[in-house]
Chain A
Amino acid sequence: MLRYALMRVVSAIPTLFLVVLVAFLMVRAAPGGPFDTDRVLPAEIAANIERAYHLDEPLPWQFRRYLSGVLRGDFGPSFRYSDYSVAELVRDALPVSVRLGLLAIVVALVAGISAGLIAALRRNTMTDRIVSTIAMTGVSVPVIVIAPLLVLFFAVNLGWFPAGWSGSQGAARWIMPVIALALPQISFITRITRSSMIEVLESEFIRTARAQGLRTATIVRYHAMKPALLPLLSYLGPAIAGIVTGAIVVEQIFGIPGLGRLFVQGAQNRDFTLVLGLVILYATVIILLNLAVDLLYGVLDPRVRRS
C-alpha cells in the first residue's frame, strides 16, 4: 500500500510542474507586455518597471524566480489592483469558495445517493421512472442554464430566496447557490448509484444472502451498500472538477465574492498575474484532490493497489 501511495504521489509532481510551466509560458507569450498602456512611457521608466518586476532577466531565470515564489505561496503582485498581492486577494476569497464547494458536494452526495438507492430498490416502478427521467434531464442541463432559471423562479417570481449575495444575511443566501451548484452533480450521482446498486443486487453473493433468508433492508445495509457505492469514489474526481468550474458561474450569477468571481474579473481585466496565480491554484487543487481520491480508492479497494 505504501509503495502504491508513494508512486501516485511522485507521479503528481511532474504534472504540477507542467501546470506551472505551461501557464507561465502562455502568459509570457502574450502579445504586448503586461504594462502596455495607451500612454507611452519614457524609456527610463519602462526600463525601471521591467527591472522592478525582473522582466529584463532571461526567461528561464524569470521562471525559476516565479516557481520558487509559488512554492513559498508568493504569486507576486496583482497587475490591476496594484496595492494587493495575488496571495492577499486569494486569502480573502478562498474561504467563501471552499465553503460553497463543500456544501455543494455534501448536498450532491446525500441527495444523489438517496435518490439513486430509492430508484434502484424500486426498480421499474413509477418512482424509479420519475427519478431516472429527472436525473437524465439534469445531466444535460448546464449550470449556466440552471442557475439563472432558479433565480428567475424562486427569487424573482416567488420571492422565496434572495437573488443576490450582498443584500442578505445568514443561511438564506447560501441555499440557491448551493442547490444550483449541486443539481448537475446530484443527477450524475443518482444515475451512478442506481445502476451500480442494481448491478450489485443481481450479483451472486446477494443471491446467496437472499437464499439465507435475510431481509432486504439487512442485505442492502450490510452487504450491498459498500460495493455499490465504490464506483462513486472514482466519480468524485470529475464531480470536484465540475463543482470547481460550476462555482465560477454560480459566484458570477449570485455575486458571491469568492475565487471564481475574482478569476472572472481578473480574466476580463487581463490581470495576468492574478489569472496565472489562480490557474495554478485551481489546477493544483484539482490534481491534489484527484490524488486523494485515488489513494482513498487504494485504501478501500484492495484490487486497485495490487494491480
Chain B
Amino acid sequence: MSGRAAIRQFAAAARSNRLVAASLLTIVVIAIIAILGPLVSPHGHISTNLDGRLLAPSFSTWHLFGTDDLGRDLFVRTLAGTQVTLLVAVVASAVSLLIGVSYGAIAGFLGGAVDAVMMRIVDVLYALPYIFFVILLMVVFDRSLLLVFIAIGAVNWLDMARIVRGQTLSLKEREFVQAARLIGVSRFAIILRHITPNLFGTVIVYITLTIPQAILMESFLSFLGLGVQEPDASLGTLVNAGASHMEQASWMLLAPATLLALLLFCFNFLGDGLRDLADPRKQK
C-alpha cells in the first residue's frame, strides 16, 4: 500500500467516524430535548384551546412550532410524539432482540436437525410480506401502544436470528466453549453465560439498523391511523394531521416531518457507519 493511499484511507475512516459520532450526538440531543422540552414549556400536549387554533409559530406566546387545528401547542406535541416514536423504536427493537438472539443462539448451538428445521422456518417467514400482517393485526385487535410494540418487534427478529446463528456457529468451536463443555456446564448455561455475552458487539451494530426500520413501520402505521391513537401522538400521526391542514398551516407538517426525517437519517447513518467499522472487508 502506498503512503498516499494509506493516508486517504485513514482520512476516510476518520470522516466516517466523525459522521457516526455526529449522528449519535444528534440522536442524543433530540432525545434529551424531547424529554425536557415538554417539562419546560407552559403548554400541555393534549390541552386544547379553541381560541388559539392554527396559530403560526411565535416566541411571544411560547408556541414555538405554532398550534394545531384544536389549538394544541405543536412544540410540546411534536416532542411528545418524538418520545412515543423513540419509545416504540427502542421497545420494539428490544422485543426483536430478545426473540432473535435466543432463537439464533439456540439454533446455532444445538446445530444438526434442530438447526436445519429452525432456519427453514426463518426462510419461509422471510418470504412473507409482514407489513400487511402487521396491518391485519392492528385491524383485528384493539389498537394500543402495547400491540404496536409487539407487532413491530415480532416481525423484525429474522435478520437478527440469522446473524446470531452464524456467530454462534463459529463461537461454539472456540476453546473457552469447549472447556466449559469439558467441565460439564449444561448446554443452556453455556448459551446464556458464554455464547450470548460474546454476541454483544454484533448485536449492538445490528440493533442500530433495526431501530430505523421500527421507526419507519410505526410512523407508517400511525400515518394510516392504525398505530398510535388520538389524543396521544407520534411523529407519524402528526405528519398525517399536518398533511391534511397544510394549506392553512404548513408548520403543522414541517415540524414533525423534519424531525422524523432527521431521526431516520441519523439512525441510518449510525447503523451503516457502525457496520462498516465492524466489517473487516470494508477496511481493506
Task: List chain A positions with a Cβ less than 8 A from chain B.
Answer: 12, 14-15, 18-19, 22-23, 26-27, 29-31, 137, 139-142, 144-145, 147-149, 151-152, 156, 163, 241, 244-245, 248-249, 252-253, 263-264, 266-268, 270, 272, 275-276, 278-279, 282-283, 286-287, 290
Contacts and interface: CB of A to CB of B under 8 A. Distances in A.
Contact of A249 (B137, B220, B261): B220
A249 B221 CA distance: 10
A252 B254 CA distance: 19
A237 to B, nearest CB: 10
11 contacts: A22-B133, A27-B136, A30-B141, A144-B220, A149-B253, A152-B254, A241-B129, A252-B223, A276-B136, A279-B135, A282-B132
A264 B250 CA distance: 25
A24 B118 CA distance: 24
B120 to A, nearest CB: 10
B136 A26 contact: yes
Contacts of B142: 31
Contacts of A244: 129
Interface of A is mostly: helix
Contact of B246 (A27, A148, A278): A148
B32 interface: no
B131 A140 contact: no
B27 interface: no
Contacts of B138: 267
Interface of B: 124, 127-129, 131-133, 135-142, 212, 216, 219-220, 223-226, 236, 239-240, 242-243, 246-247, 250, 253-254, 257, 260-261, 264-265, 268-269
A1 B242 CA distance: 52
B132 A149 contact: no
Interface of B is mostly: helix
B225 A268 contact: yes
* Most chain A beta-carbon contacts within 10 A, residue among B124, B128, B216: B128
B232 to A, nearest CB: 17
B224 A283 contact: no
Contacts of A149: 253, 257
A140 B239 contact: no
Contacts of A137: 265
A152 to B, nearest CB: 5
B245 to A, nearest CB: 10
A114 B139 CA distance: 41
Contacts of A248: 224
Given A23-B133, A290-B127, A275 B139 contact: yes
Contacts of A148: 239, 242-243, 246, 253, 257
Contacts of B131: 245
B250 A152 contact: yes
Contact of A152 (B137, B220, B246): B246
A14 B129 CA distance: 14
* Most chain A beta-carbon contacts within 10 A, residue among B135, B142, B220, B254: B135
Nearest to A270: B139
A240 to B, nearest CB: 10
B132 A253 contact: no
A275 B138 CA distance: 11
B135 A26 contact: no
Nearest to A241: B129
A272 B269 CA distance: 40
Contact of B224 (A19, A22, A152, A252): A252
